A and B are shown apart, each in its own frame.
Chain A
Amino acid sequence: MALRANIRLVLTLVVLGLGLAAVVGRLAWVQVVQRRQILAHSYIDQETLQAMNHLLARGVFKPTASGRVAVDQAALALAVPQPDKRRRLLYCAARARLYPGDKKFDPRLLRVLAPGRRPGRRKVVRGRILDRLGRPLALSRLDQARGVQRRYYPLGPAAGHLLGFHHPVFGNHGLEAALDPVLTRHDPSLTGPEPLPGLGQPRLGTEVRLTIDRDLQKKAFQALDGRPGAVVILDVATGGILAAVGAPAFDPNQPDPAAWRAARTRDQGRGLRAKPWEVTYPPGSTFKLVVAAAWLEYKARTKLPDPVIMHTGRDPWLRISDIKAYGRVDLQKALYKSCNVYFARLGVSLGPAVPAVAARLGFNRPLELLPTDEGISLVTTPSLAYAAWRYRRRPAGGRGHVSRRLVKFTTFRRDPKIVAQCAIGQNLVAATPLQMALVAQAIANRGVLLLPRLVAGIGNPARRHGYRAQGPVPGGRVMSRATADTLARAMRLVMTRGTGRRAGKMFIAGRPLQMAGKTGTAETGRPGEKPHAWFVGFAPAGRPRVAIAVVLENGGLGSQNAAPLGVRLLGEALGAQPAQQAKKNRRGEKS
């Protein structure tokens, strides 16, 4: 019997054959016709590839046996300062394959999806960012008509440096970018407001609760009043950041695309850097707290007495001078009068002990602000203590990848003049406002450092297991209790008879609030510029609850400009009022 005679068999064969022919057709479509378009979905540019190979050579990326790329986050933060570039590199590294022994990334193993095409991320409404009391700092609004979301920031520019931004066109930046994996993760316990036409019930992203206090953040921004500078306020007991403000700030609610483009491109986007933890300034006299702490630790070991000098106003050998001569100066007086000569000599005699104490306080390394076990990371720019960046362009002389490396100062004997300048917070010393607030916090905490943190909890607190609260992150004891207490007493004297005595007073229920602080006036090193004004401190002096660091760029004298601002904000954080207002209130009560 021939096949042709059996129509059922023939028809079945034809149907099966059509199925196979369809496969061949599809294969031709994919492999021949649409080939270029499909390969265009794969996206790795030469610049990124070069940067990745460079980082591989430097050991920032490491191969693992499974082929996944291990990333040294801290080293990456040091090597690539630009956050968006760093994010792109991390995105590519997560999709690359690298096996032990590989000297370079194989571009064919680096097939990554083009930017913006992430599977399964589309329909989640980005989660809100809340302050410590649950008030929104950033929220996404759905456009009913178009089904797109827009991010809205209730504080506007006041939280610009803190939050960064999320924009459908101009991308993610700062904290918003760092929190992206959490915010875009669907939280099933949250129910959306209303179903959208064509989209169904919107799926809401996980909410993140910060340690920030919204009112304080707003007050701090208003207190800066447009002057360029930054304020960081820390909770002494938990290490949480209560406010982090930078000015001038970009308004992320800005609708004008030209303004967005300008902000992203002007000075290579420098204006968008978070001043509280991404910009370093010479700390000036506030760094004397660190030198004093180093001395007191040294003294506890060697039982030496505090040095006492006869101060004539200048030291010709170290080329350090003060505005006037103070006569007989001991450690306490040197602190509250902020005596440069005393600390320059102290720094020269202490040598490498000062950067050692500074390193314990958080200098010379990037600090992590977010809980990394959630898969998120935001690191600060390292503050420098007796160290500097050395920049290198690769390939040398060409237009290539610029990398930088932290180089520590080691020639203490050979360069006493540099050591002297460092000891008064100039030259090779630079600190972020957050770092100086940490110094104040460590002193207020009687010598125990709590590492800074931004996130109070992730998830929905209404659900029992859906909320992951983030506790304090201990940073260890950085100085002895006696040292911290001595420094705290000296800082109290700064506010009563020293450089901060004219900074004003704040009152709680009619009683003056005791404060401790240290002012600073830091030369910028550029001729013709006014110095940076600094203030670090904490309050109440007896039982500290909040610590602060204020810097005003080119603000003039710290005692006249930064200190009043710091005093006022410390008072605001504790619910105190300035003198006239307090009097007015009392009068009002009487009448």
Chain B
Amino acid sequence: MPEARSPSLAGQLPRLMVMGLALGLALAGVWVALGGVAGLAAGRAYLTSLNQAYLVMLWAFIIRVAASLHSRPETAPAEVPGMWPAAAWMLGLAAVLLVWGGLGARRVVAGDWASLLALGLPMVLAAAGGVFTLWVLERWGGLREPVVPAVVFCLFALGLSLLIRVGAEMGAVGRREILSYLAWRHAAWFGVGLAAMAGTALLASPRRLARLARKKYLLPVGAAGLLVVTWLVGPEINGRRLWLVVGQMSLQTVEAVKLLMVLFVASYFSYEHPQVINGLPMGRRPGVLSVVGPYTLMLGLPLLALAVQKDFGPAVLIYTFFLVMLYLAAGSRWLVCGGLLAMVAAGAVGYWLHLPRMLHFRVRAWLDPFEASEHLTRGLWSLADGGLWGTGWGVGSPQTVPLSYSDFAFVSLAEELGFLGGAAVVALFLLLAWRGMVLAAGCRDPQDRLLAAGITVMITLQAVLVLGGVTGLIPLAGLTLPFVSHGGSSLVVNMIMAGLLIRIARDGPAS
């Protein structure tokens, strides 16, 4: 019984207040939306108020999900895990409606039902796939996790709405044909990602993870092999080697490397590392390779990535991830701080030496975007155009920013949804990070704990690097925004990580 296990009404009070706030916001959103629809009926401009209603509902959703942050399956079985993901899809469908309205008002698409169908079909299919996957997980996977799918689906729905919007704009003006199918491609990759997520959540049993941990050295070696293969056969696009082309698909190998690294670090620090610290039973000492080898790999991989790709974004991500995991597993605070300082110093030296060139260029662009980078300047104009409430779905002009569908997706969102929408995206990532840490804390097994924490750190760290980069807070790193940006390999890998989190949420407390 929930009442029996919860400490008291006073203990529940903050959560109840948060839920009340969410309910109030939702009601306010409905009120504003009704006003907008009434204005529409009266023939007035409706997009502003409807978009404001959309933002209010988005925040109501976030606050309501935040109320479940600390919920534990055994303490709150009344929580329906599938409910908030379904609400995320409602937000996505509402976004498509608004996109249709906005683009129709600007005569980019025809304002009839056929165009609404053409715009909305990817979203409807993705929503159906998402709900179906959740049903499968509840039926066979024992799903007890409400927050992670809700946040992931909400981020994806926002990203897909953006792709629908940008793709329609580019298709309407006959720009690059491939871009007008952005949404369809993204939805198709989402299907693959859902299958991967469900498969991971169903199959990644503790036994299998333990078996994987025994063969853990294959993981970083495989990652290094992937990077080397990319180096040797990958095509150079925009001066960087990030892709491996297989037939029609191009895969970003860094994404796969990220997943392999998460698994390896969790395995190493949960099994081998305590032995290195405490010594083996019977007074034996561990071999040199098991002490030095992992650190060599950990430091070598970012350097390899740097050398292969001539780009510092992935290298910074992997390196910082290692440092954070080092702290989480071993608690060495000074080592981490020193490592970060060393990275910044190396970056400064690289900037002076123009090595790699990309670094110099990006740092200069960051120091003075209006002088050195038209790309960043366009991004900043786009952001500033948004203002507090945003221009509204389909009304802004995010397509003027290069890469508005992948690396600069957040800028496009923040233009159309304004500061409130941009902050909502950041809040969703914060929810994910928080929930991931809660899940990690709930695990008994150190490997599960490190795995959950590692996944959380990896996704959040990437989000911070990208968001800071496109808003001009730090030099641009050239990574995709997890779950939002267009990009197949990135989406699938992040969905696999989400699947692992879902599985760990079920197994962690029990095992």
Contacts and interface: CB of A to CB of B under 8 A. Distances in A.
Interface in B459-489: 460-461, 463-464, 467-468, 471-473
Interface stretch (B82-90, B186-194, B383-391): B383-391
A119 B468 contact: no
A42 B174 contact: no
B324 A12 contact: yes
Given A6-B440, A8-B328, 9 more contacts: A5-B441, A13-B434, A15-B324, A20-B464, A32-B388, A39-B381, A39-B384, A106-B397, A122-B371
A9 B397 CA distance: 41
A97 B441 CA distance: 52
B381 A38 contact: yes
A26 B469 CA distance: 11
Given A12-B324, A20-B429, A119 B441 contact: no
Given A2-B441, A12-B328, A117-B371, A27 B471 contact: yes
A6 B441 contact: yes
Interface in A60-116: 65-67, 97, 99-102, 106, 108-109, 111, 113
A489 B507 CA distance: 107
B65 to A, nearest CB: 16
A99 B441 contact: no
Interface in A1-43: 1-3, 5-6, 8-13, 15-17, 19-20, 22-24, 26-28, 30-32, 34-35, 38-39, 41-42
Contact of B463 (A13, A20, A41): A20
B373 interface: yes
B510 interface: no
Contacts of B453: 9, 12
Contacts of B174: 65, 99-100
Contact of B419 (A32, A97, A117): A32
A489 to B, nearest CB: 61
Contacts of A307: none
B430 A17 contact: yes
A197 interface: no
B242 to A, nearest CB: 24
Contacts of B155: none
Nearest to A5: B441
Contacts of B327: 8, 11-12
Interface of A: 1-3, 5-6, 8-13, 15-17, 19-20, 22-24, 26-28, 30-32, 34-35, 38-39, 41-42, 65-67, 97, 99-102, 106, 108-109, 111, 113, 117, 119-120, 122
Contacts of B441: 1-3, 5-6, 9
B181 to A, nearest CB: 17
B63 to A, nearest CB: 16
Contacts of B442: 1
B457 interface: yes
B374 interface: yes
Contact of A24 (B176, B373, B426): B426
A117 B374 CA distance: 10
B437 interface: yes
A27 to B, nearest CB: 5
8 contacts: A3-B441, A9-B440, A16-B460, A20-B464, A24-B423, A27-B383, A67-B175, A111-B378
A28 B433 contact: no
B428 to A, nearest CB: 10
A34 B175 CA distance: 33
B276 interface: no
Interface residues of B, number: 55
A104 to B, nearest CB: 13
B438 interface: yes
Contacts of B387: 31-32, 35
A38 B468 CA distance: 18
A17 B388 CA distance: 22
Given A3-B438, A8-B331, A100-B174, A113 B383 contact: no
B380 interface: yes
A32 B418 CA distance: 9
Interface in B241-259: none
Contact of B422 (A2, A31, A108, A111): A31
A16 B380 contact: no
Interface string B417-454: 01100110010011001100110111110000000010
A13 B437 contact: yes
A31 B383 contact: yes
Interface in B55-100: 70
B414 interface: yes
A452 to B, nearest CB: 36
B173 interface: yes
A97 B378 CA distance: 13
B175 A66 contact: yes
A120 to B, nearest CB: 6
Interface string B374-404: 1001101101111110000000010010000
B467 A23 contact: yes
B372 interface: yes
Nearest to A109: B400
A41 B370 contact: yes
Contacts of B381: 38-39, 41-42, 111
Contact of B433 (A17, A24, A39, A122): A17
Contacts of A11: 327
Contacts of A38: 380-381, 383-384
Nearest to A7: B331
